[in-house]
Amino acid sequence: MDQTIEPLNRVALQLGPVHIYWYGVIIAAGALLGLLLAMREGKRLGLPQDTYVDLILFAAPIAIVCARIYYVVFKWSYYVQHPGEIIAIWNGGIAIYGALIGAVVTTIVFCMVRGLSFWKVADIAAPSVILGQAIGRWGNFMNQEAHGGPTTRRALENLHLPDFIINQMYINGTYYIPTFLYESIWDFAGFIILLLLRRVNLQRGGMFLSYVIWYSIGRWYIEGLRTDSLMLGSIRVSQMLSVILLIAAAGLFLYWRFRSEKRPHYLDK
């Protein structure tokens, strides 16, 4: 029976020679939903109405470019032999940490130009970002990437997964662990936690740092299960970066907590 399993069609829509892939559709859907969420919360907290629309017009393309550059740099031994594939992001191969670095730098510059508080803008956006990541992982599912090591169909069935996920994890004659799903679930849980933290009214910056801490913990663990990690020698780059970000975010959290100077809070306008 396994030999007859066909993967899901990666093409969502074909318009003549133009192919629109589910990978891009799903990532765009996550970004749009996150944008609408941030716009609503930003309005509630007194930010100019056009803040997040203007920000995403800059941050989204820069994040995509940075995500691809990040991926290509750590896979350079392959792309130096296949330079024509460097821009082929529709085949997958973008790194979320590269996207986040590009988006954060863009947001810092954007806030400086607009005279806005970076921490306020980032706090409001944090739930949107992790929601977009949770949805975006299903683009990896459609591309049959970001999976873990080999497993068996019985093991996947014991997780009570629906057949469409199990079948999509059947790649070139082998079943694989659906780590894309693990990270999506972790991110959705983080999204709910961040929504609850809005009521706690943390000091400004606390929401964004909570996102960094939560995501870094989950990514460190899940990355260890994956078979496609970007490597720096024998070190998994995403695990290394997760540890660095976790320490930095927790350290800054504690520094703000115990310093004498008072900071504004999340709900302050």
- For 144-181, write each residue's pLDDT tens digit: 999 999 999 999 999 999 999 999 999 999 999 999 99
Tell me how long the chain is.
269
- For 238-267, write each residue's pLDDT tens digit: 999 999 999 999 999 999 988 867 889 999
Residue 89 within any structural domain of the chain: yes
pLDDT over threshold 90, residue 89: no
pLDDT(120) > 80: yes
What span, in angstroms and rounded, lies between the C-alpha atoms of 187 and 194? 10
Within 10 Å of residue 157's Cβ, how many Cβ atoms? 11
Residue 266, domain member (yes or no): no
Please check whether residue 263 lies inside any domain of the structure.
no
Run of H or E including 15: strand 11-15
Q: How far apart are CA 166 and CA 156, in angstroms?
A: 6
When pLDDT is averaged across residues 90-115 and rounded to a whole number, the result is 92
Side chain identity, residue 58: F
Q: What integer best gives the mean pLDDT of the chain? A: 94
194 domain residue, yes or no:
yes
Residue 264 lies in a domain: no
- pTM, two decimals, is 0.94
What is the pLDDT at residue 92?
66
| Domain contains 108 | yes
Which of 10-24, 208-222, 242-256 shows the lowest mean pLDDT across its residues?
A: 10-24
User: Do residues 267 and 201 lie in contact, with contact meaning Cβ atoms separated by under 8 Å?
Assistant: yes
Q: Could you tell me if residue 130 is inside a domain?
A: yes
Which residues span the domain enclosing 211?
Answer: 2-258
Q: Is 149 a domain residue?
A: yes
DSSP codes, 149-171: SEE-HHHHHHTT--HHHHHHTEE
The tally of domains found in the chain comes to: 1
